[in-house]
A and B are shown apart, each in its own frame.
Chain A
Amino acid sequence: MAVSADNVLRVRNLSTEFHGDRGNVRVLEDVSFEVGRGRIVGLVGESGSGKTVTALSLMGLVPTPPGKVSAELIDLDGIDLAKLDADGLRRIRGRDVTMVFQEPMTSLNPVRRVWEQVGEPLRVHRRLGWREIRGRVLNMFEMVGIPEPKARLDAFPYQLSGGLRQRAMIAMGLICEPKLLIADEPTTALDVTTQAQILRLMVDLRDRVGTSIIMITHDLGIIAEMCDTVNVMYAGQIVEQADVFELFDRPMHPYTRGLLASIPKATEKRTTRRLPSIPGIVPDLAKLPGGCRFRLRCEHAMPICQRREPGLIEPGEGHRVRCWLHETEEAVRQAETS
């Protein structure tokens, strides 16, 4: 990641906690990352790692009675989202930063026509009349590749296939020409062929329109195909951050290495070898093991890992990791004695 790159989003120390029966649970801890303009940034991790909560926290969609979002900085192209109140966030939502969700089947209102829903951000944020909205929705439909777009305008969601609905959702996310589009597992609920189409569409849109995208997924294959930079999340923290090629060539964090090793490779000669998987399970965020959150599953765990949580360091240019393995001897010694 070039240090002086033009960033459309800069997040510093985003933390989100939920107040529940078991007390306060911090589901996100000091998440920091950047999204370069016109770049696709991946956010990868298992379910429960905090990827979706990150997105919801950025959008201001975390219900604030049980939840609480705090950040040092959430700079969206000059506007600090962390300092906005609920109404301010609402104005940004759907206009400057938009989101596409995982379930196209249920994310659309079944009793309203598709064009009304796709065009709604225009009504809310730009106060356009319905005739103009219809026209713009038609344009968007063409842009996202919905066949027979004119006929599809008046359709109800149940009349569209999963792939078409997701295209409509993407249209909805782009219709206000946002600075940032957050896609939360947009293809997980689709079949493989449709998946490929939707991903290709997103890259294509980025190329044509220049939208910056945060791609949330658990699928490393998608990361490899689409993303420019990657953030690996584990148990509410970012554990590794790098340019995509760098990440796949030289993964630093044991978790990332474990993930990469567990991808079945078509070129593997020995088909009898068992697919390696990371032992153990994701820790309960209410009962963290103390020290590094990954240490119970890590084959390289050292005494320091139990004592102190590692911070995010940058051993290589643009490549950050949260792991004692990559800290200097000196830093480890200092941490051990204090």
Chain B
Amino acid sequence: MLMFVTKRILISIPVLIGITAILFVMLNVIPGDPVALMMREHASADVIARVRAQMHLDDPVLTRYLRFLAAALQGDLGHSIKLNRSVTQLIMTAFPNTLILAAAAAAVSWVIGIPAGILSAVRRDSLVDRFFMGFSLLGVSVPIFWSALLMQYIFALKLGWLPVSGFYGPEYVILPAIVLGWSSAGVIARLTRSSLLEVMHLDYIRTARAKGLREIGVISHHALKNALIPVVTIMAIQVAGLLSGAVITEAVFGIPGLGRLSVSAIQARDMPLLQGSVLFATALVILGNLVADILYSILDPRVRSHLGKATT
């Protein structure tokens, strides 16, 4: 088991490094002077030259990359010229807010998605099924920024039940979590439903019925445990989707999280900040995938025995 986990971690590392390389190349090999772009307003020649020297911008790309990588491994993700703070510090301030939002959204999506999926599978093709599946379809088809604005309009501006924006207390999380969790809930509901339907056709379900279990017993003791395995793994992978969605949700609801940090980095042309925050976000995604793999192996005893067996 430990071997499995270690192997999984070892595989993730090259992917992470590859990503830093891609990111670095994209952001640092652009035509044009990044410093001049950053400091459009105060563009005095020797200030620019000084900053360039400070950032070692005239060194070859490989050297700069390695220097960046070395620093990153020690936790230093660069320095934001615009905000004059360490990128790592900025991220660490913003990240907990995104974490809270994402956790709340994930909770929303599980609490709604899994029961909806189970009910839909058990009452296949009924009104309940169609309703939930329609709801899920809307969830993945509605642009997040639109549902965010709509929610804001209805519940905050018109009804006044919840605050419009900001992040000063627990009630500020409710609307954003629902908005962000809705599309996730849709994915989870669909997956739960299809997984359960598939499992219900398998032989061991027939065995369970032959033993005289009630249908509820068949589902809860036999079907669910198997059916939920892919759902659990999806939940960990949803991290990527949640982060993307968080960007927009935070923008609309004014939540000072990682997403909004990235957006303001783009708008301010703050390259080190953008680089650092995107890198951090991607690392989170990779972590999520890792957790998914490990979870899957814990839940499915067949996988546990095959050390380091590649899933998918």
Contacts and interface: CB of A to CB of B under 8 A. Distances in A.
User: Do A and B come into direct contact in the complex, CB within 8 Å?
Assistant: yes
Interface of A: 59, 61, 90-95, 98-99, 101, 103, 106-112, 117, 120-121, 124-125, 156, 158-159, 169, 172
Given A93-B210, A158-B305, A111 B203 contact: no
Nearest to A122: B211
A82 B210 CA distance: 17
Contacts of B212: 90-95, 121, 124-125
Contact of A107 (B206, B221, B305): B206
Contact of A106 (B202, B211, B302, B305): B202
B309 interface: no
Given A110-B226, A111-B299, A111-B301, A90 B204 contact: no
Nearest to A156: B301
29 contacts: A61-B206, A90-B213, A90-B214, A93-B209, A93-B210, A94-B210, A95-B212, A98-B210, A101-B206, A101-B207, A106-B204, A107-B206, A108-B207, A109-B204, A109-B207, A110-B226, A110-B302, A111-B226, A111-B299, A112-B222, A117-B207, A120-B208, A120-B211, A120-B213, A120-B221, A125-B212, A159-B305, A172-B207, A172-B211
Contacts of B214: 90
Contacts of B302: 110, 156, 158
Interface string B262-280: 0000000000000000000
A117 B218 CA distance: 12
A98 B202 CA distance: 19
B21 to A, nearest CB: 40
A94 B206 CA distance: 12
Chain B interface, DSSP helix/strand/loop, else mixed: helix
Interface residues of B, number: 23
A112 B213 contact: no
Nearest to A108: B204
Contacts of A92: 212
B40 interface: no
Contacts of A103: 203
Contacts of A112: 221-222, 225
A106 B206 CA distance: 10
B217 interface: yes
Which has the most chain B C-beta neighbours within 10 Å: A59, A91, A111, A159?
A111
A103 B305 CA distance: 22
B33 interface: no
Contacts of A94: 210-213
A121 B203 contact: no
A111 B202 CA distance: 13
Nearest to B225: A111
A216 B300 CA distance: 33
A161 to B, nearest CB: 15
Interface in B292-306: 299-302, 305
